[in-house]
Every structure is written in C-alpha cells, then in structure tokens.
Amino acid sequence: MKRTLLVMTALFSLASATAQVAAIKKWAESELLHRAPMEQAHVGICIYEPATGKYWYQYQDNKFFTPASNMKIFSLYAGLKLLGDSLPAARYYENDTALFVKGMGDPSFLHPEYTYQPLLQLLQQTTKKIYLVPGVNTNLRYGSGWAWNDYADDYQPELNEFPMYGNVARIRHHGDTSSIVPATYDLDITADDTLSETITAREERNNFFFLKYNPKDKGLTAAEVPFITGSVQDLRQRLEDTLHKRIGLTVIPPTARFRILNSIPADSLFIPMMHRSDNFFAEQTLMMASSRLWDTISSDRMMEYLLSHDLKVMPQPPQWKDGSGLSRYNLFTPRDFVSVLTLMQQEFPKERLWEIFPTGGKGTLKNYYQQPAVHAKTGTLNGVVALSGYLVTKKNKQLVFSVLVNNHHESATSVRRAVERLLTMVWKDY
C-alpha cells in the first residue's frame, strides 16, 4: 500500500508538472511571442525551479543573445566570490622614511557617496614621503566594443587601477553660480538665451569642460562628465592636487612586502551597482577581483579564469567581453544566466542576494513588479531588453529565470511590460 501511494504521488506530481509546462507554453505563445512587441524580435526564455531540477518553460534558451547590463550578474558573482567582505583600497608598504602605494581598482576612493576613506586617511596622516608604484594593468581605458562617441556620457567613465572621484568631473550650476570638482579642471561657461536646456560636455581629447546655459533658467543643473584618466603622471598630479603633498613615482622596492588596506564593505558597492546599473562599479569589480587574486589587473584574464573554473558549468560556452554589458560583443544564452544565478543561490545567503538585486518598485524595477516577488537585474541597449533573476511565486515556489530580447523595433518600455505580464502570470498562478 505504501509503495502504491508513493507511485501515485509521483505520477500526480509528474502530471501536474506537465500540465504546468503546457499552460505556460500556451499562454506564452498566445499572449507573448506572437504579438507585438515580441513577434518580430529574437526572444529567449528560461524558467527553472532549482528545488526540483525542473524547467518550467524553455524557449530558445540555448540561443545566444546580447545581454546588455545583465552582464553585471557575472561581475557580481566575481565580486562575491573573490573580494570577500570588503573592497581592497590599495596595496601599501612602509619603511622608516617612505610609504609606497599601489592601486587595486577601488572605485570608492574619493567618491562622494562614500564617507569612509581609509586610503585617504592613510595618505593624509603619514609624515613620510609618498611614492606611487605603477602596477601591471592590461586593461584599456574602455572595454572591448564600447562606443567611442560616448566619451562624455556619465555611464561610461574611463577605467584605471587608481580611480578618483568615480573618474568623473561633477559640474553644478544654479543661477549665476557654477562649479566643477575636481576644481583643477577648466570649466568654460557660456550664457545663451536661445538654449532650451543646459549643456554640459568635454572636449574629446583633453580635460577641457564646458557648460552652456540659458540665463532665464533658474533651476539646478548637476551633471557628471568623465575625465581622461591619462598616464601615471596624470594620476600623480591628481593625487598631489588632492593631498597638497608631493608624490613620487617608483618601481617596487626589492625588499617590499606589500599589505592590502581594506576599503568599504563590498555590498555597499554591489547594491548600487545592481540597483542603478552602475557600469563603472561593475567594470572596476572585475579589476579588483583580478588584482586581489594575482596582483595584476586584467579583466580578460579574470573572465577566462572564471569560465574555466567556477563557471565551467555554463551550458553553452559564452563570449564574455566586459563586466558592465556596454559591449555588444557579449554573447550569452538564457540558460547561462539561469546557471550562474542558481550557482549564486547555492553559494551565498538568499537574504544577501535579495538585498543586492533590485526588487519590484525599487532601483531599475521602480516602475515594475509592484509585488516584491521579483529580484532581478535589468538590461537595456538600443534594440535589447533583458531581465534575469529570481521569482518567488504566490505558492512560495522559488524560481530562477532569464528573459533576453534582441532586435526588437518597439519601445523598451513595451517590451518590459510584456515580460512583466509573463512573470506576473507565473507568479500569480503558481
């Protein structure tokens, strides 16, 4: 009798799961895939339940897509796996007369969002001669495949081993008052009563910034414009201007035993990285992970290492080119995202992930998923909409999902709403 009951229970569960898959497939085909805005787009969907190992729905989930900012999920995994509880502020070494400092890619140094500045405190308080030690950094200032003409846009700061101020100049204008930080940069200000909006920008090949405004506009303008990070000599000049101290340049002393100075708690960077989709934080996370592991900054090496070690479980070997998703060279499948998200859930506390990922009504999901059942990362480029993360249904089923949409010709909002209808249906009915 007991064996019969077990068999009947198993058959009932199988029948329920089959009916569930059929119901989702029917809804997707009638309400999503063959209607605008999805019908002319390239769409991939994967919905998976880790507890049972069952796929609830799969549609082209083994096809490759440009995932846009969903790439930050992989950068987050690298940070969670390799950075520990705190970011590395710098490597440093002291002898009787000098302090030697080498950058490790920490983007929080002198960033206005972070008041805790242990490296700044160390540099300000020392009475010894400070020497900047150039590290090995194979990264270029931009990622592979980035758009060159976005050089003055706030979402594409340059990358380097010793970021300062988030590698952007902050320009403010109100009434007749204007300012720029760092103040060492030139700001050309022009009043023009024909302008419909204030313009802030930078010349392409130098750190000459300009602001054009309509004097009739009395509102506040606050803009962030990336500066050219330049050479190690430029970095030394920025440090000298900030510290009001002379900084030397040197190679690593032969007897030096460098220590790592810890910076801010890691999650205080990961949360804004995911909630506002911060490209700079994502790229520098890969760089910090590389620096901590090898004392060499190489995002390429970091990505290759992860794909051949911790992420070798990827169902389809992806093409991974940057940490932020700005590159259109990235090619991943929905099943790849489901795999890394499942791995993250196995390795890190759910409560921590729930806080790091945006949820309904917050961050980039502010206008979507008003029920806090979705914890996911958005992704947007021209013609690209992506959403991958976790979904907890009304019946407390915990799912992992990825929806990647490429080559759509509608508004990004209409595509996001269509994806929202799919996930809301799954949340509500199961």
Domain ranges of the chain: 24-80+272-429, 87-147+231-264, 164-228
Q: How many CB atoms lie within 10 A of CB 361?
A: 14
Q: What token pair was written down for 13?
A: 């569960």
| Residue 164 contacts residue 238 (beta carbons within 8 Å) | yes
Alpha helices (runs of H) in 29-71, residue ranges in sequence order: none
State the Cα–Cα distance between residues 76 and 267, nearest whole angstrom. Answer: 10
Closest CA to 377 of 251, 257, 282, 253: 282
Q: What token pair was written down for 396?
A: 């407390």
Widest CA span in the chain: 88
Q: What token pair was written down for 66?
A: 């440009």
pLDDT at 310: 96
pLDDT at 19: 74
State the Cα–Cα distance between residues 69 and 183, nearest whole angstrom. Answer: 32
CATH architecture of the domain 24-80+272-429 equals: 3-Layer(aba) Sandwich (3.40)
Q: How far is CA 174 from the centre of its chain?
A: 31
Question: Tell me, what amino acid is at 410?
Answer: E
State the Cα–Cα distance between residues 230 and 198, nearest whole angstrom. Answer: 28
pLDDT at 251: 87
Tens-digit pLDDT profile for the chain (430 aa)?
666 665 555 455 445 557 788 999 999 999 899 999 999 999 999 999 999 999 999 999 999 999 999 999 999 999 999 999 999 999 999 999 999 999 999 999 999 999 999 999 999 999 999 999 999 999 999 999 999 999 999 999 999 999 999 999 999 999 889 999 999 999 999 999 999 999 999 999 999 999 999 999 888 999 999 999 999 999 999 999 999 999 999 988 777 899 999 999 999 999 999 999 999 999 999 999 999 999 999 999 999 999 999 999 899 999 999 999 999 999 999 999 999 999 999 999 999 999 999 999 999 999 999 878 999 999 999 999 999 999 999 999 999 999 999 999 999 999 999 999 999 999 998 9
pLDDT at 371: 79
Beta-strand ranges (E) seen in 24-176 are 42-49, 54-59, 86-94, 98-103, 129-132, 168-174
Q: Tell me the three state secondary structure of residue 10.
A: helix
pLDDT at 253: 73
pLDDT at 2: 67
